[in-house]
Chains A and B, each alone.
Chain A
């Protein structure tokens, strides 16, 4: 399990878990899971375009995802991204297939991009992942307070001069960066399991912002490490083990929150 060819997988998984766990908190708090599902598909189109133009796929993925995210935010009314997100998503997928058809590429490469292949991560990819992860974390760190404030009490934040559209745009860019690093690992379709399940579980367990960050990252790390180990031992696809463990984590958190809530209610009655 710790053979040399597995080391890149472990490192890539660790990077993805840390940034997914942090960035996902705002995705969950702002209720932008649909956007987090749609933006990764930009990387599919971007990679197809980059292959056609002979550029680095990573660059194409980053640019296409960022453009997709910004277009969704700019074209939709405050807090209502639904229809624009759906149309952007189908356009990205349709345009990606068009580019692949025009360049005459095989379907095998589509499959890899959508479902991911953690064993195919190369060392130069890892370097790019670290760079983009640091940029994403720096952005979240810089705007941590306004992001949190604007996500929890949007009206109050707006009256204090925090622009909701600007916050959505920041989040879209960060999700795009996270996506670009993670697509080779877990695939575009399953990327957002990491952005949604660990933070959603963490929010159930604790209310203090910093503790939510810590718990979310911890859950994401355990989820990814266990998923890679399971995939290696049982020979299951990583996409399956990651999502299955995410659902288990969320359900456990829900049950714990419910039991705690009941205990608190009993205590106040006494």
Chain B
């Protein structure tokens, strides 16, 4: 394939592509940083549950006719607090309570979406909440995304040292005077803000992929936390840029001109990164 065929006309000038790249890169950076702590604290299930639970708020917002963004954020933070307060204690207990809270939220989403179809909204809302698409973003989401990113990163930065200590050795952290319960609560709120921001803009599926994938890949090849976080950010940004590029150009590759969904392309890059990191990490040990 010649170089000219690799990049379809308009990739560098198209406005949806610019917006997709801008929002995608911001989301990738924030979720990769939060993701490192999520993977280390073994809270990926909670992270994924929060991505889906935001859609309860999204559905409620749809029904009430208020901004989806605030629906997602409010529902996400409430769900995060419930998860942390109810699921305290053993890891095994946490798993079951996450499952129960999660399924309750999904059931509520089904009800709210059903009610909103009664008042005339589209029944495909659930699908768009779940899968989202970077290419149909509206410019107006950008300020909200930036505000939530800053809030989430501030909270994470504030808690970073305590989280690091708690992740390495919980008992030692308590002995040093770290309030592990409050730290956990603070972290899960930071996680909720990041995850809601990303699941609203890029869909719940992609949100989990960018939260877990880059961080898990980085932690496979790097044992220190700060370099892992930097590496996770790099992996996340590469996944978004490469995924958007593949999706945009795939339109020209197939005879039927059906573009590949951008979510799938980014997930594919994330999975390939993880596979490579596993192989490399195994060889180094």
Which of A28, A82, A246 lies in contact with B44, CB distance below 8 A?
A: A82
Digit string of A225-246 for contact with B (CB within 8 Å is 1, else 0)? 0000000000011011111101
Interface-lining segment among B15-23, B160-168, B188-196, B267-275:
B267-275
Distance A125 CA – B271 CA, assembled complex (angstroms): 34
Chain B positions within 8 Å of A80 at CB level: 42
Closest approach, in angstroms, between the C-beta of B143 and any C-beta of chain A?
Answer: 28
Contact present for B106 and A189 (CB under 8 Å)? yes
SS class, residues of chain A in contact with chain B: helix
Q: List the B side residues contacting A98 at CB < 8 Å.
A: 260-261, 264
User: Is there contact, CB below 8 Å, between A244 and B205?
Assistant: no
Other than the given A80-B42, A246-B104, 17 more pairs (CB < 8 A) read A33-B45, A33-B96, A33-B99, A34-B44, A34-B95, A34-B99, A82-B42, A97-B205, A97-B264, A104-B258, A111-B127, A192-B103, A193-B107, A197-B103, A239-B106, A243-B108, A244-B107
Q: How far is the CB of B267 from the nearest CB of chain A, in Å?
A: 4
Contact at B212–A86, with CB atoms within 8 Å? yes
Question: Nearest B residue to A241 by beta-carbon distance?
Answer: B107
Q: Does A118 contact B (CB under 8 A)?
A: no
The answer for the CA separation of A192 and B254 in the assembled complex, in Å, is 38
- In the complex, whether A222 has a CB less than 8 A from a CB of chain B is no
Interface residues on B, range: 35 or more
B110 within 8 A of A: yes
If over half of B's interface residues share one DSSP class (helix, strand or loop), that class is named, otherwise mixed; here it is: helix
Cβ B107 vs Cβ A31 within 8 A: no
How far, in whole Å, are A85 and B47 apart by their CA atoms in the complex? 12
Q: Is there a chain A Cβ closer than 8 Å to B39's Cβ?
A: yes
Name the 10 nearest CB pairs between A and B, nearest first.
A243-B107, A94-B267, A193-B103, A33-B99, A240-B111, A239-B110, A98-B264, A83-B216, A90-B209, A94-B264
Nearest chain A CB to B4's CB is how many angstroms away? Answer: 25
Residues of B within 8 A of A (CB): 39, 42, 44-45, 47-48, 52, 91-92, 95-96, 98-100, 102-104, 106-108, 110-111, 114, 123-124, 126-127, 130-131, 205-206, 208-209, 211-213, 216, 254, 256, 258-261, 263-264, 266-268, 270-271, 274
- Is residue A176 contacting chain B, with contact meaning CB distance below 8 A? no
Contacts of B110 in A (CB 8 A): 115, 189-190, 237, 239-240, 243
> How far in angstroms is the closest Cβ of chain B from A114?
7
- Given A189-B106, A240-B111, verify A91-B267 contact (CB < 8 Å): yes
The interface residues of chain A lying within 8 Å CB-to-CB of B266 are 94
Q: Shortest Cβ distance from A235 into chain B, in angstroms?
A: 9
Residues of A within 8 Å of B52, CB to CB, are 189
CB distance from B78 to the nearest CB of A (A): 15
CA distance in complex: A33, B107 (Å):
17
Bound: A244/B56 CA distance, A: 14
Q: Size of chain A's interface in residues, with CB distance under 8 A?
A: 48
A190, B127: Cβ atoms under 8 Å? Answer: no
The listed residue with most A CB atoms (<10 A of its CB), out of B45, B91, B258, B263, is B45
In the assembled complex, the Cα of A9 lies from the Cα of B126 at a distance in Å of 24
**Which residues in A have their C-beta under 8 angstroms from that of B107?**
190, 193, 239-244, 247
B210's closest neighbor in chain A, by CB? Answer: A90
Provided the pairs A87-B213, A107-B124 are in contact, do residues A31 and B96 lie with their beta carbons within 8 angstroms? Answer: yes
Contact A107 B127 (CB under 8 A): yes
A-side contacts of B206, CB under 8 Å? 90, 94
Q: Is the CB of B103 within 8 A of A190?
A: yes
Question: Complex Cα distance A236/B268, Å?
Answer: 37
With A and B bound together, what is the CA distance between A33 and B101 in angstroms?
12
In the assembled complex, the Cα of A244 lies from the Cα of B44 at a distance in Å of 24
A102 within 8 A of B: yes
Most buried by A among B106, B110, B123, B261: B110
Collect the chain B residues with CB atoms within 8 Å of residue A246's CB.
Answer: 100, 103-104
26 A-B contacts (beta carbon < 8 Å)? A34-B45, A34-B95, A37-B45, A86-B45, A86-B212, A90-B205, A93-B131, A93-B205, A94-B264, A94-B267, A94-B268, A102-B254, A111-B123, A111-B127, A114-B127, A115-B126, A192-B99, A196-B96, A196-B99, A197-B100, A200-B100, A237-B110, A240-B107, A243-B108, A247-B100, A247-B104
Q: Which residues of A contact B127 (CB under 8 A)?
A: 107, 110-111, 114
Which chain A residues border B106 with CB–CB below 8 Å? 189-190, 193, 239, 243
Chain A residues contacting B91 (CB-CB under 8 Å) are 31
In the complex formed, the residue of A with least CB distance to B215 is A83
B212 touches A95 (CB 8 A): no
- Best-surrounded residue of B106, B127, B274 (most CB of chain A within 10 A): B106
Quick one: which of B48, B92, B100, B258 contacts A102, CB cutoff 8 A?
B258
